[in-house]
Chains A and B, each alone.
Chain A
Amino acid sequence: DIVLTQSPVLAVSLGQRATISCRASQSVSISSINLMHWYQQKPGQQPKLLIYRASNLASGIPARFSGSGSGTDFTLTIDPVQADDIAAYYCQQSRESPNTFGAGTKLELK
């Protein structure tokens, strides 16, 4: 199985940039298609899709969210961070079955 590694916690100040990383144990890209996706989950709520295929913003997601990366290294950026962004963020790969998720990064206020 492809293992996705995320840092458990990231502390950030409001108005600053947050950079959340996800590293895969093997490449999740096929040619130019990067099969890495990002979700946001607030406490007590279901996950919500933010970014698909590494860099594509999902419908209704604010432009302060962006994604980048290829191969094994991917990044979710929130700039600027707002109070409503305090949540857990999960990466997910769909390059191989079983689809796997990272353990999540909890975004906290500094």
Chain B
Amino acid sequence: DGGITQSPKYLFRKEGQNVTLSCEQNLNHDAMYWYRQDPGQGLRLIYYSQIVNDFQKGDIAEGYSVSREKKESFPLTVTSAQKNPTAFYLCASRSLAGPSTDTQYFGPGTRLTVL
């Protein structure tokens, strides 16, 4: 899991609440990504960012929001508009220069459960 940290590891939310998942990296990577993982569905891209103060929607952005105020941080907010938020959330980052520019590296994940 390298230099990418995600917190908390487990998160419980009541319906109607917004929650924010933290993702921090000390790898000096420019690009960061958020994925959602559900059993049997692989990973689906929520949002990604290649530079500070800029980000793009992925395939399932509805009900989620992000910010990229610092290079090392890419928090994900799961809003009350997300109809089925219970899932495992994974953050990843990638360097845009150097020999490993093609490879995304992943954090340990946050498991969100809606009660």
Task: Answer yes or no: do A and B interact.
Answer: no
